[in-house]
Amino acid sequence: MQATVPSRVITGAVLPRSTVATASLVAGFALLTALAAQIRIPLPFTPVPITGQTFAVLLAGAALGSVAGAASQALYVLLGAAGLPFYAGGSSGWEVATGATGGYLVGFVVAAAMVGALAERSQDRTVATAIPAFLLGNVVIHLFGVPWLAAALDVGWVEAAGLGSVPFIPGDLVKIGLAGMLLPAAWRLAGRTGRGR
């Protein structure tokens, strides 16, 4: 008799991996986001730097699904808030987590959950269909980041969008494309394929 690999049901999607493996992937994607945060290009006119985080966030949602994807980003945020040098440029702490860019951190968790939910509904079956999900996830990050930035800087939403959204769109499109290209590798890492579960 052949042994079977245990599977775990996460929000309706059967993922062929154990709880331990899922936890390892959650931690791994949290670390990937921390690593991507160290790719940092400061801009002189805004407190929001260009980083690689968005790339990791979107990939986490598509590869892990809604619950595990969101968990990976929540873990990332919590570890950085606890003092590990996980935020952009090696920064950390509660003050950073709740500072001017804190809305983007919240948006990471929500975006990963939403991209994961779309992936569970077959939106990630091909790279071409995953890109719209990534675009939507990116919009979610901005929808959380810009109002938070406006409140932190005491400026209007239009000015906040000019400081924390519009200048980042070209780079975001590059990161979305890169995440799409690496999606098959992420599927393999997570123990699944883009054409079935």
- The model's pLDDT over 6-53, given as tens digits with 9 standing for 90+, comes to 434 343 344 445 888 889 999 999 999 999 999 999 999 999 999 999
Which neighbouring-strand residues pair with 40? 51
Taking 90 as the threshold, does the pLDDT of residue 182 lie above it? no
pLDDT digit string, tens, across residues 84-136:
999 999 999 999 999 999 999 999 999 999 999 988 887 656 777 788 889 99
Q: What is the pLDDT of residue 6?
A: 40
Instruction: Annotate 56-69 with DSSP letters as a single string.
Output: HHHHHHHHH-HHHH
pTM: 0.84
Q: What is the pLDDT of residue 11?
A: 39
188 vs 109 pLDDT, higher one: 109
- Taking the C-alpha atoms of residue 95 and residue 15, their distance in angstroms, rounded to an integer, is 37
CATH value of 22-190 in 1.10.1760.20, 3.40.1110.10, 1.10.150.120, 3.60.21.10? 1.10.1760.20
Domain range list for the chain: 22-190
User: Under a CB-based contact definition with an 8 Å cutoff, are residues 97 and 77 in contact?
Assistant: yes
For 104, the 3-state DSSP assignment is helix
Q: What is the pLDDT of residue 127?
A: 74
